[in-house]
Structure 1
Amino acid sequence: MANAVVTDNLNALEAEAIHIFREVAGEFDRPVILFSGGKDSTLLVHLAYKAFWPAPIPFPLLHVDTGHNFDEVIQFRDDLVDKLGARLVVAKVQDWIDDGRLTERPDGTRNPLQTVPLLDSITEGKFDAVFGGGRRDEERARAKERIFSLRNAFGQWDPRRQRPELWSLYNGRHRPGEHVRVFPLSNWTELDVWRYIDREGIELPSIYFAHQREVYQRDGMWLTSGPWGGPRENEPVTEMTVRYRTVGDGSCTGAVRSEASTVDDVIAEVTASRLTERGATRADDRLSEAAMEDRKREGYF
């Protein structure tokens, strides 16, 4: 009975997401899918593939690349794009730093710097619908989002202009220059994502599974060295078995101690966890009490 309930739930979530993809295809002129190579955006691409098969995915993929990504994730991103024959647009934060449109932060974290490249890319590409992999269970600012989230001409979110979504009816009307962020995974949980990955046999970057890595502890998180920097004098490096629950800018994405080397192991681990993946491993969400809310109002999330 329990397996039947899980299957019914996954079928309902899949059907909802596919409906949303097809609704956007019929209602908007130039959609784009945000794709980083992480598990949620990979799931988005998989669902888009199913929604339009046997035709190719009719939208390009857009990655706002901080330049501080994990090598395994970038390789996975490129391999999947080649496999699907999709078109990938990469907006490199480093380009915006080099020409003076952005300034490097003193703390070296580049996640907050993604907003301007994202909005510039949306404007340049004339994208009117932008798919994201946000889920309501991740963080309280995300929990307030509609599935169709209207953004103004500056990419900003205004809660007073959001529309009701009764009976799965989505209103994509927007003025010239505005666009809509679309979140097909809104009603999924982290556990739903992993159960669906298991059912569909979806491949993911290897860092989502247990492996040996040199890490150091900062602010209660296990970080690793990279082009974003390394440990301070008082932060000893140790080698341990870890995995990543979420991936992003390496300067602020922490690993968790884990022996989960298979999808089944991860499902068991997530089932027992009482912390969301962002709450446990993303320092950028800890910059302030309203860090994600602020980024959403500025136009990123």
Structure 2
Amino acid sequence: MITSGSKRDQRFIKAVMLLLFMVGLHSALYAAITESTAPASKFAKEVTKETYKQVNPPAAVPVFRWDFSKAQVVHTYAYEQEVRSKTNMGSLGDKSGDMGQEMSAKGALLIKSQGDKTAELVLKDVKMSMKMDMGDKEPKTMEQQMPSFVVQGMKEDGSGSFGNSSQDMLLKMLFPLPPQSLKVGESVNMPAQMPFNAMGSVLEVKGRSRITLSRYVKIGSRTCAQFDVDTDISELKIPSDLKGDYKCSTKGTSVFYFDTASRSFVSGTIALIMQFSIDAPMPEMKMSGENAPDMPKTAKMSMVSDNLIRVKFK
């Protein structure tokens, strides 16, 4: 419920709230960096918070793949997300300055096996609350029930058939699986990329996610592989024909636990910081009339979004 503000402010908050949710959820979207070295996520300590007893590896070599061979099998997880973001619209806003947002969301995440080696990912019943600090204005708060989000065609290796889309990135971030068998202590680099909208031009930011099989642990009666993941997607090549300064980065860590017997995930935690900055010429615009406002000659904007995502089997 919105506690204060005009109808115009309320509409603006709703639009920003939905944008923040989609940015936080679709970690492939428009992340960028304002400095040469990105700070670490403030949620990083949450990733290593869980402690479990270490056990020996299984006698048989595990298959690090989901089992989607049977239809109507549903894996249900509790889903939680927190976002702390700061946006500076620079020359695009009425005033130059930061606008802070705090968002939290809880819901259910379902992996629904289709029986043909694929599954549907369904995020539903998500209740979200957000607080916005708009500088010299009174902070706004809002609560909202989000629509269900569905991804079809999830494969047993945890990926989707969507190329470089935000949906594919979401799947890879939530359920990281190595492309091959690993021994304890071994790592593998997975190429990662994401789109970045630079004033209408869609650029590609490249990087990698390093998956390490750090150990095996016991969670209840389950023997689980612990995957530690380090993500760095920050390589951005600016075409010479594109004027302006653009920087982009998504960096973070995560820990996921995979049940080797049932071939399904038990839980996982992601801490991810996404940043962007744009300083580019604005398109020329001519407006008639004596009271026509002066349009800014450059577009300066930046955003820092710190994200924490938890999934836990119910």
Instruction: Give the TM-score, by structure 2 length.
Output: 0.29
Bigger radius of gyration, 1 or 2? 2
More strand by share: 2
- Which structure has more relative contact order (CA 8 Å, sep 6+)? It is 2
More helix by share: 1
